[in-house]
Structures are given as C-alpha cells and as structure tokens.
C-alpha cells in the first residue's frame, strides 16, 4: 500500500425541507448555438457571451431540490495558478474521484462522485453543463453535462469506458469561481442527499474522500517529481514552501499519493422549521467616500467615521492617515512635510502607462576596466578604426546619429503598434454589432442596419487592418535572465516593414 498524505478540506452542508430557488451558475451553456450534425440548435441566439452569462443581480432561477446539499472546497494549493512560458495561466489538476460515506447509527451507505465524467450527447441530466470541447482546435463547442454520482457497489463493478475531462482544474472551463460556487460545480464537487427532507436525525455524519483516478495527475506526485526531493526533510520543506502544508508527524519515507478528506456531523437533529429562510431586510445605510486614489478615499472614510462632527479634526486625521500610507516617500523628509504630502498626493493621482522603448548606449565593463580605459583615453589623442586614425569625437558623433535614427524608428514602430491594437479593438466592436444585426429581436427588425452592409463594412476594415499589420511587422526581442535585450529580430525579415527597418 502506498504511503499516503491526507490533506484536510472544508465541507459545507445545506438542509432544505422544500425546493428552493437560488442564484444560477455564472453561465448557462444550454443556450449555446451549435450544429449537431443534422440541424442548427439555438439558431436564433447570437454567438455572444451576454446570451449565456448570468447578469449581475439577476433573478434566482436555479432550483435546488429538497434534502441535504454537500459542497466541498478544494485545497488552496490546487486553486492557485502559475504563469507558463507562453504567458498563459496554468492550474494543477484536481482530484476527480470522491467517495461520500453517510453514517446514520449503525447504517453506512457509500456513493462515488466522478467529477470528470462527460455524459453522452443528447442525454437528459441535472448535472453541470459546460461547453465541450474546451479548445477551439477541437472543433465547434457543444453543451455537455459533466459529473455523475453512483452507488459505491455499482461504481466498483463497472469497468466500461467513458469520455472523461482530462486535466480538470479548479477553474473548470475558465471561470475563476467554478469550484468555489456551488451552482457552478454541484455535480463535480458537491452531492445531493434527497433522503432527508422531512427532518435530519441527530448524529448524521458524512465523510468525503477525494483522490486522482490517474496517478500521473496527482498533485503531490508531480510536485515531488519536479522538485526531485530525496529525503523526508526536503519533502517537508517542499510542502511548506509550495503548498503551505505542514506535516503533523514525521515519517521515514515521504508519501507518493495524496487524498483529500473531510467529515461533517449533525450533532443535533434538524426540523423543517430550522432550515434557513430567505428574509427581506432593509438595505443598509451606505456611506460613500471619494478620493483621487483608493488610499485617499479610505482615509477620508475613516476620518469621517472617527470625527463626524469636527471638520478640522477630520481633516487632520485624514492627513495623518495619508502620511502613514506614504511613509516610504516621506520617511527622509524633515522640513516642509505638509507641502511634500500634497506633492505625494498629486503624484499618486496619476498612473504611468507604457511609452514604448528607448535605446541607449552603455559600456559594459567593470570598475578596473573603466579606470584603465580612462587612463588610456587621456594618453591617446585619437583612436584607430579599421586601420585609419579617427578622432574620438567623430566616432561618438556617428554613434549618436545612429542611436537617434534607431530611436526614431522605434518610436514609429511603437505608434504603429498602438494604432494596430486600436484597429483590432474596433474590429471586434464591429463584429459584435454585426452579430446584433444578424440576430435582431423580432420586435425591432427595422431598427438595425442591413446585415450585408455591416458585413461589407467589416470586410473593408479587415483589409485595411491586414495591410497595416504587414506594414508594421513584428519585432521579437531576446531577453536574458537579467532582463537585458540580447537580440532584436523581425518576425518576417524579408518583408519591408517598420520592424525590419528597426531590426
């Protein structure tokens, strides 16, 4: 039996004596337009996120069935992403098998939740719906139900193959709150017990164990293999630094597999009258504080709270709070602290934006080499360039002229890149308007421009955009570990573009 690391997780339970409507998932992919091989499904729905995304403060229209709803949280280490080499966010795989055990007196019942199970096409289910496949290169996405629960004995006896969600993570299809919000993941990281609607007996207990179906995806195994630890001491340090986990006891060998576990017990019985009820309450009295920055607004709010009836004291307190927040800028100031604080406030009211690259010439040498070069320069009235004596003034003048030309070309390239980005943003906005014109509301057909005219407008803009992109080109910089630019090359050096002239 492998050495196992047990990782505690948080488990919540919600008891509902009757069905209740709650806030729906962040998106309803059942409205996603797609082609099923025979016909267009949801053909009257434009391919826009607003058609499937749940708007803020929307009416509660997801029905939770009566009973006990369990929702377990993933370990924090599995919910934190890292940036890959290509700049994309990468999250570790999460456990995809969950054993739910219910204890009522001497009676024990078990179920298994398969988080990565993808239901066959065109099957009816109450499971979570996601767009599948997730990547564009796999073809058009279709809504698919994900996650299922089966009795333990049935799951143990079944060895049939099924379509699985490989590499399931805490963000699911790309939603940051996927695993944290129960309506998003109720069939993947949650379970519904419909046996207890009338009442909940005292001593009812649920145990949840989670593990990986494939050992290759096990977070602990991947972590150990990547770090190449060989001793239990190194293993303990690795867990502390990478996952913020602390071992409760030392072992002669370190684990190679992790299992998440949680236990929840109803110490006292519950009756339908004990269930939570939605009560409308009076909205709280809101207070608004305005400032040029968040720090200024917070200082104004705290000052008003602590000196509500004394304007002079409130202003003094606000100045003190602002000064505390600007300690780094003011710690060396002894005189004229008030004017300097105003200057810091003024400076913090602005935000720096990228202004492009600017090239400079810098001699790479150490102090000893600099001293030797200075001594030699003082002794030598001129220098030799390619076999002929040229004054140092001429050499530096040529370099200055070349540097000026380089920065001029860099500025032109930066402006072209900004214009290109703006043109692409406008193209996306035009495409959005085209989708609205292609799928107008039935009662407002005459209020939208002709879709063919909008299409022709976009095609003309696309041609201009492609020409602009070709004239600009792409400059690629090779940067070392210290952040120094080692090389600048054009992505297409044979094309006459700004990037080619700059490289």
Are 127 and 146 a contacting pair, CB within 8 Å?
A: yes
> Which pLDDT does position 287 carry in this prediction?
82
- Residue-wise pLDDT tens digits, 328-356: 878 777 778 788 888 888 888 888 888 88
pLDDT band at 280 (very low <50, low <70, confident <90, very high): low
- Over residues 401-426, the mean pLDDT reads 93
- Model confidence at 384: pLDDT above 50: no
> Which pLDDT does position 276 carry in this prediction?
61
> Which pLDDT does position 340 carry in this prediction?
84
Report cis status (omega within 30 of 0) of the bond before 358.
no
Distance CA 125, CA 145 (A): 7
> Which pLDDT does position 260 carry in this prediction?
98
Distance CA 249, CA 427 (A): 60
- Model confidence at 476: pLDDT above 70: yes
Supply the DSSP symbol for 448.
S
- Over residues 224-251, the mean pLDDT reads 87
> Which pLDDT does position 383 carry in this prediction?
44
Distance CA 388, CA 383 (A): 8
> Which pLDDT does position 382 carry in this prediction?
47
> Which pLDDT does position 387 carry in this prediction?
40
- Model confidence at 376: pLDDT above 70: no
Q: What is this structure's pTM?
A: 0.74
Q: Which residue has the higher pLDDT, 123 or 244?
A: 244
Give the whole-number percent of the chain exceeding pLDDT 70.
89
Are 358 and 410 a contacting pair, CB within 8 Å?
A: yes
Q: Which residue has the higher pLDDT, 319 or 261?
A: 261
> Which pLDDT does position 346 carry in this prediction?
84
Reduced to 3 states (helix: H, G, I; strand: E, B; else coil), residue 243 is coil
> Which pLDDT does position 367 carry in this prediction?
57
Among 93-107, 195-209, 241-255, 419-433, which stretch is predicted with the lowest mean pLDDT?
A: 241-255
Describe the chain by its helix, strand, coil percentages, rounded to 5. 35, 20, 40
Q: Which residue has the higher pLDDT, 490 or 147?
A: 147
- Over residues 153-163, the mean pLDDT reads 92
Q: Which residue has the higher pLDDT, 358 or 277?
A: 358
Are 71 and 186 a contacting pair, CB within 8 Å?
A: yes
Among 297-311, 361-375, 437-451, 474-488, which stretch is predicted with the lowest mean pLDDT?
A: 361-375
- Residue-wise pLDDT tens digits, 37-87: 788 888 888 989 889 998 887 777 899 999 999 999 999 999 999 887 777
Supply the DSSP symbol for 49.
G
Please state, as a whole number, how many other Cβ atoms lie within 10 Å of the Cβ of residue 78.
Answer: 22
Among 2-11, 365-374, 441-450, which stretch is predicted with the lowest mean pLDDT?
A: 365-374
- Residue-wise pLDDT tens digits, 100-148: 999 999 999 999 999 999 999 878 899 999 988 866 555 578 899 999 9
- Over residues 442-462, the mean pLDDT reads 88
Distance CA 2, CA 256 (A): 7
Distance CA 179, CA 173 (A): 11
- Model confidence at 499: pLDDT above 80: yes
Among 32-36, 110-114, 459-463, 479-483, which stretch is predicted with the lowest mean pLDDT?
A: 479-483
> Which pLDDT does position 388 carry in this prediction?
43
- Over residues 387-413, the mean pLDDT reads 76
97-104 vs 107-118, strand pairing mode? antiparallel
Distance CA 319, CA 340 (A): 12
Find the helix or strand (DSSP H, E) in which 96 lies: none
Q: Where are the domains of the chain?
A: 4-212+259-271, 294-348, 391-472
* Spatial CA neighbour of 71 closest among 161, 155, 177: 177
- Model confidence at 394: pLDDT above 60: no
- Model confidence at 170: pLDDT above 90: yes
> Which pLDDT does position 262 carry in this prediction?
98
The mean predicted confidence, pLDDT, of the chain is 86
């Amino acid at each position: 039996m492998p050495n196992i690391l047990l990782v505690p997780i948080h488990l919540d339970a919600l008891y509902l004596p009757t069905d209740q409507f709650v806030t729906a998932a962040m998106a309803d992919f059942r409205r996603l337009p797609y082609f099923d091989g025979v016909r267009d499904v949801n053909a009257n729905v434009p391919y826009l996120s607003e058609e499937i995304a749940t708007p803020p403060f929307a009416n509660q229209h997801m029905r939770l069935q009566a009973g006990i709803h369990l929702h377990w949280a993933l370990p924090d280490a599995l919910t934190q992403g890292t940036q890959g080499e290509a700049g994309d966010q990468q999250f570790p795989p999460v456990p995809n098998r969950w054993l739910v055990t219910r204890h009522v007196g001497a009676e024990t019942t078990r179920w298994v939740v398969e988080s990565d199970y993808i239901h066959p096409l065109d099957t009816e289910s109450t499971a979570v719906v996601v767009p599948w496949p997730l990547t564009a290169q796999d073809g058009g996405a279709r809504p698919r139900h994900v996650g299922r629960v089966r009795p333990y004995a049935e799951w143990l006896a079944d060895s049939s193959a099924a379509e699985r969600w490989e590499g399931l993570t805490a963000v699911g299809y790309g939603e940051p709150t996927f695993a944290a919000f129960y309506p998003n993941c109720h069939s993947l990281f949650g379970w519904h017990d419909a046996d207890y609607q009338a009442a909940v007996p005292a001593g009812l207990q649920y145990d949840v164990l989670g593990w990986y179906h494939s050992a290759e995806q096990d977070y602990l195994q991947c972590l150990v293999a990547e770090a190449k630890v060989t001793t239990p001491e190194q293993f303990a340090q690795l867990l502390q630094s990478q996952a913020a986990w602390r071992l409760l006891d030392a072992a002669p060998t370190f684990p190679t597999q992790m299992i998440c576990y949680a236990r929840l017990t109803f110490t006292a019985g519950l009756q339908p009258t004990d269930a939570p009820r939605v009560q409308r309450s009076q909205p709280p009295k809101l207070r608004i504080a305005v400032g040029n920055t968040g720090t200024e607004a917070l200082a104004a709010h705290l000052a008003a709270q602590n000196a509500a009836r004394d304007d002079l004291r409130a202003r003094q307190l606000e100045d003190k709070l602002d000064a505390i927040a600007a300690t780094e800028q003011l710690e060396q100031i002894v005189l004229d602290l008030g004017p300097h604080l105003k200057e810091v406030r003024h400076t913090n009211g602005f935000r720096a934006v990228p202004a492009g690259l600017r090239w400079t010439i810098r001699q790479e040498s150490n102090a000893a080499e600099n001293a030797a070069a200075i001594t030699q320069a003082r002794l030598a009235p001129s220098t030799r360039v390619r076999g002929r004596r040229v004054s140092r003034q001429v050499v530096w003048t040529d370099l200055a002229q070349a540097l000026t030309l380089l920065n001029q070309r860099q500025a032109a390239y930066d402006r072209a890149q900004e214009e290109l980005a703006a043109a692409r943003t406008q193209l996306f906005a035009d495409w959005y308007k085209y989708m609205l014109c292609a799928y107008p509301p039935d009662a407002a057909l005459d209020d939208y421009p002709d879709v063919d005219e909008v299409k022709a407008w976009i095609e003309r803009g696309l041609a201009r955009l492609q020409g602009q992109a070709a004239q600009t080109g792409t400059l690629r910089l090779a940067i070392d570990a210290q952040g120094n630019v080692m090389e600048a090359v054009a992505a297409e050096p044979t094309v006459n573009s700004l990037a080619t002239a700059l490289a």
